[in-house]
């Protein structure tokens, strides 16, 4: 029997629950009890007050696989162009930067000018990753010798664009594609047999050739950080975790492991198919050459106006954009304009703040300036019938002089020899007398690419590493340091500095690392922005750094042992730059034989496959860099006269 007190308490509880129930238009929500489960099946974050429309579609491909696609537009938009990105990095998260009812807060910052101007923004998970169906293959090869499925990123882009222009009623039927890194790769692949509605493309830092100079190898030297990426992308449809090796110094971690193959086996990475593809193809086999996107594009008439974009200090994909430009700029097959943009940025820096990089400070937000003055007008012209922006064939930012340069071609500079000379000097005059400088390269004590401790997963180390002051290794006995006299006048270079290194080793294999450096005067002023930035007095700014694996000196597809003591000619290029060496600065060149643990160690003995090198294979070798007379080692600087 209920008491008056219990009846009163029950009435109060019922009243409280009724008061707590949310008010809503239409039917009242079901009443709850103390035991109603406190879980909802879904919550719609998009409220009526939102200034945008969001649609999620599973877009069908020609083989029946459906790809997760997120479509954003401002309310009231009509007759609007579509800007598409095809990503392996989760379209759902890419379009949820901030939980907000404002479109410009939800999407990445670089999208704001586009969506504010009535563009429809579309992000899509590529096949097999995150919320899309199908099987994922890293950089899925084009249908052909390496891919008999008939399905690739080109066909998926075609089918996606076809569906969008037929099913997004607010569209004007014109589509542009944009994206950086892997998204740059998918943007380029969309240009192979493109859909007629694809009117413009802006691939940024695209992955083009993973062996020659993007992500996995550089001129045959393996980038060990590839292992982390392979593991992360191979788990949970692209949402996996990194190698659980703790927070210690990566230098010690990889050194103790032995070869790169030993490291992979130690952590069970050899069970990952893509890791096996890397380890089974250490040379430039058809696995790499038949996937090279620059070569694939060169075989076809370019019909989509293309703006290729890269950072001068891109620490991941410096090779791809200039390689595609070289393949297309003078091609008789080309039917559409192509341009190259080189900004003062790190990898994907074009989409972020461009005020600074490492110790360097620029005169403004160079990335936002580029996007406003050049990128958006490019898309406006082709997708909205906007005014012709007269995009230059080449646009580059002259670091050192702090200005944009518009050029009719790339490169602009004339190759000008800068010779290594006696007394560790540099000269534009060829030394008549022959000589050589020696050092001992010991794989047990490789030259670090950053001051220790090294954590390649730390963005504060990784993103700006290419502009790190090189004085930290200049006093090592296994690094040769050459310096010019202070310059009397500015020296402006625009292009990819070439390397012609005449060198010999006492071993049977060797790596050669060359750095071109701008050495600041000791009385350089403090940087423009105070705070944590170091003084630039005496700063040694790397203008370009590259590596070459010696076994490939006679052909990337034909590795062979070096003959001890024989002088070989190593020819390779540093990354493309627009840089001004100012009066009073000196030009520096460093030569060494390791860059660890960014690249795996060369045993310096002959091993058929370096992933299988054993501890006994790693031996010290005497390296000889020759200068003068018939063996005049030099850099070919692309000097603007």
Q: How far apart are CA 389 and CA 310, in angstroms?
A: 20
Q: How far apart are CA 17 and CA 33, in angstroms?
A: 8
Q: How far apart are CA 507 and CA 621, in angstroms?
A: 5
Contacts of 609 (CB under 8 A, 6+ apart): 261, 279, 282
Per-residue confidence band for 12, with pLDDT thresholds at 50, 70 and 90? very low
The half-sphere exposure of 301 on its side-chain side, counting CA atoms within 13 A, is: 5
The yes-or-no verdict on residue 2 having pLDDT over 60 is no
> Under DSSP, is residue 427 helix (H, G, I), strand (E, B) or coil?
strand
Please, what are the domains in the chain? 52-211+288-407 (3.40.50.1820), 414-639 (2.60.120.260)
Q: Which residues pair with 437 in a beta bridge?
A: 625
Q: How far apart are CA 97 and CA 91, in angstroms?
A: 11
Which has the closest alpha carbon to 239: 115, 87, 99?
A: 87
**Residue 549 to residues 4, 501, 582, 596, Cα–Cα distance (Å):** 90, 13, 33, 14
The yes-or-no verdict on residue 23 having pLDDT over 80 is no
What are the structure tokens assigned to 401, written together? 């002089």
pLDDT of 160: 98
The whole-number average pLDDT for the span 68-77 is: 97
Strands 634-639 and 511-519: unpaired
pLDDT of 481: 98
Average pLDDT, the chain: 94
Contacts of 455 (CB under 8 A, 6+ apart): 247, 249, 250, 461
Least confident segment among 7-21, 25-39, 310-324, 574-588: 7-21
- Please check whether residue 214 is in contact with residue 207, taking contact to mean a CB–CB distance below 8 angstroms: yes
Q: How far apart are CA 221 and CA 211, in angstroms?
A: 8
pLDDT of 10: 44
The yes-or-no verdict on residue 464 having pLDDT over 90 is yes
Q: Does the CA dihedral 311-313-318-323 come out positive or negative?
A: positive
pLDDT, tens digit (0-9, with 9 covering 90-100), for 123-156: 999 999 999 999 999 999 999 999 999 999 999 9
pLDDT of 16: 42
Strands 80-87 and 120-125: parallel
Which has the closest alpha carbon to 395: 354, 338, 343?
A: 343
Give the helix, strand, coil percentages of the chain, each rounded to 5. Answer: 25, 25, 50
Q: How far apart are CA 95 and CA 101, in angstroms?
A: 12
pLDDT, tens digit (0-9, with 9 covering 90-100), for 110-121: 999 999 999 999
The whole-number average pLDDT for the span 559-587 is: 98
- Report the greatest alpha carbon distance in the chain: 115
SS (H, E, C) 383-399: HHCCCCCCCCCEEEEEE
The yes-or-no verdict on residue 14 having pLDDT over 60 is no
As to burial, measured by CB atoms within 10 angstroms (0-12 exposed, 13-18 middle, 19+ buried), residue 460 is exposed
- Please check whether residue 319 is in contact with residue 183, taking contact to mean a CB–CB distance below 8 angstroms: no
Which has the closest alpha carbon to 302: 354, 277, 270, 339?
A: 339
Q: Which residues pair with 562 in a beta bridge?
A: none
pLDDT of 534: 79
Q: How far apart are CA 520 and CA 540, in angstroms?
A: 6
The whole-number average pLDDT for the span 567-582 is: 98
What are the structure tokens assigned to 149, written together? 């499925």
Residues 433-453 as b or e (16 or more Cβ within 10 Å = b): eebbbebebbbeebbbbbeee
- Please check whether residue 371 is in contact with residue 387, taking contact to mean a CB–CB distance below 8 angstroms: no
Contacts of 67 (CB under 8 A, 6+ apart): 58, 59, 61, 124, 125, 126, 127, 132, 133, 134, 156, 160
Per-residue confidence band for 28, with pLDDT thresholds at 50, 70 and 90? confident
CB atoms within 10 A of CB 27: 6
For 513-554, the DSSP string reads EEEEEEE--TTPPPPSS-SSPPP-TT-EEEEEEEEEEGGGTT
pLDDT of 3: 46
Q: How far apart are CA 593 and CA 609, in angstroms?
A: 19
The yes-or-no verdict on residue 72 having pLDDT over 70 is yes
Q: How far apart are CA 551 and CA 603, in angstroms?
A: 12
Q: Which residues pair with 566 in a beta bridge?
A: none
pLDDT of 6: 44
pLDDT, tens digit (0-9, with 9 covering 90-100), for 45-65: 899 999 999 999 999 999 999
pLDDT of 191: 98
pLDDT, tens digit (0-9, with 9 covering 90-100), for 256-302: 999 999 999 999 999 999 999 999 999 999 999 999 999 999 999 99
pLDDT of 29: 81
Q: How far apart are CA 588 and CA 470, in angstroms?
A: 10
pLDDT of 527: 58
pLDDT of 24: 47
Least confident segment among 101-110, 171-180, 414-423: 101-110
Residue-level length of the chain: 641
Q: How far apart are CA 122 and CA 55, in angstroms?
A: 10
């Amino acid at each position: 029997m209920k008491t008056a007190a219990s009846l009163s308490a029950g009435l109060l509880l019922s009243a409280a629950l009724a008061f707590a129930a949310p008010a809503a238009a239409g039917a009242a929500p079901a009443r709850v009890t103390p035991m109603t489960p406190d879980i909802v099946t879904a919550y719609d974050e998009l409220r009526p007050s939102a200034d945008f429309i969001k649609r999620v579609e599973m877009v069908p491909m020609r083989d029946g696989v459906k790809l997760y696609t997120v479509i954003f537009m401002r309310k009231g938009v009509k007759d609007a162009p579509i800007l598409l990105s095809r990503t392996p990095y989760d379209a759902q998260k890419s379009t949820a930067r901030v939980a907000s009812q404002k479109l410009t807060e939800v999407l990445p910052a670089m999208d704001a000018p586009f969506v504010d101007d009535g563009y429809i923004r579309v992000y899509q998970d590529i096949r097999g990753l995150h919320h899309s169906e199908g099987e994922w293959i890293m950089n899925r090869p084009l249908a052909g010798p390496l891919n008999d499925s008939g399905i690739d990123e080109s066909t998926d882009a075609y089918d996606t664009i076809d569906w969008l222009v037929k099913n997004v009623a607010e569209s004007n039927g014109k589509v542009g594609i944009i994206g950086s890194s892997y998204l740059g790769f998918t943007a380029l692949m969309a240009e192979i047999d493109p859909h007629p509605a694809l009117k413009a493309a802006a691939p940024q830092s695209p992955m083009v050739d993973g062996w020659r100079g993007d992500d996995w190898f550089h001129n045959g030297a393996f980038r060990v950080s590839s292992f982390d990426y392979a593991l992360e992308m191979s788990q949970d449809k692209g949402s996996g975790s990194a190698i659980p090796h703790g927070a210690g110094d990566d230098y010690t971690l990889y050194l103790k492991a032995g070869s790169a193959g030993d490291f992979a086996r130690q952590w069970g990475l050899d069970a990952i198919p893509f890791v096996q593809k890397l380890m089974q193809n250490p040379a430039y086999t058809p696995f790499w050459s038949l996937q090279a996107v620059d070569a694939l594009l060169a075989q076809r008439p370019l019909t989509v106006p293309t703006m290729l974009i890269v950072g001068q200090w891109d620490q991941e994909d410096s090779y791809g954009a200039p390689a595609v430009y070289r393949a297309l700029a003078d091609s008789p097959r080309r039917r559409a304009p192509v341009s190259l943009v080189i900004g003062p940025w790190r990898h994907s820096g074009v989409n972020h703040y461009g005020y600074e990089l490492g110790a360097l400070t620029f005169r403004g937000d160079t990335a936002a300036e580029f996007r406003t003055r050049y990128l958006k007008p490019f898309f406006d012209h082709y997708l909205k019938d906007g005014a012709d922006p007269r995009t230059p064939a080449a646009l580059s930012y002259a670091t050192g002089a702090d200005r944009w340069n518009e050029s009719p071609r790339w490169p602009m500079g004339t190759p000008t020899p800068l010779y290594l000379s006696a007394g560790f000097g540099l000269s534009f005059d060829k030394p008549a007398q022959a000589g050589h400088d020696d050092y001992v390269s010991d794989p047990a004590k490789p030259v670090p690419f950053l001051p220790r401790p090294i954590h390649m997963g730390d963005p504060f180390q990784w993103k700006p590493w290419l502009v790190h002051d090189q004085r930290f290794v200049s006093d090592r006995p296994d690094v040769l340091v050459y310096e010019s006299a202070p310059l009397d006048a500015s020296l402006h270079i625009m292009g990819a500095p070439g390397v012609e290194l005449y060198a010999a080793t006492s071993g049977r294999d060797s790596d050669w690392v060359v750095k071109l450096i701008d050495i600041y005067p000791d009385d350089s002023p403090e940087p423009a922005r105070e705070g944590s930035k170091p003084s630039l007095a005496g700063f040694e700014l790397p203008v370009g750094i590259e590596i070459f694996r010696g076994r490939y000196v006679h052909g990337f597809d034909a590795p062979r042992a070096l003959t001890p003591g024989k002088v070989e000619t190593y020819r390779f290029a540093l990354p493309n730059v627009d840089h001004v060496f100012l009066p009073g600065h000196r030009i520096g060149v460093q030569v060494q034989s390791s860059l660890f643990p960014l690249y795996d160690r060369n045993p310096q003995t002959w091993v058929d496959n370096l992933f299988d090198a054993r501890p006994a294979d790693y031996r010290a070798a005497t390296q000889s860099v020759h200068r003068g007379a018939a063996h005049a080692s030099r850099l070919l600087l692309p000097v603007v006269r």
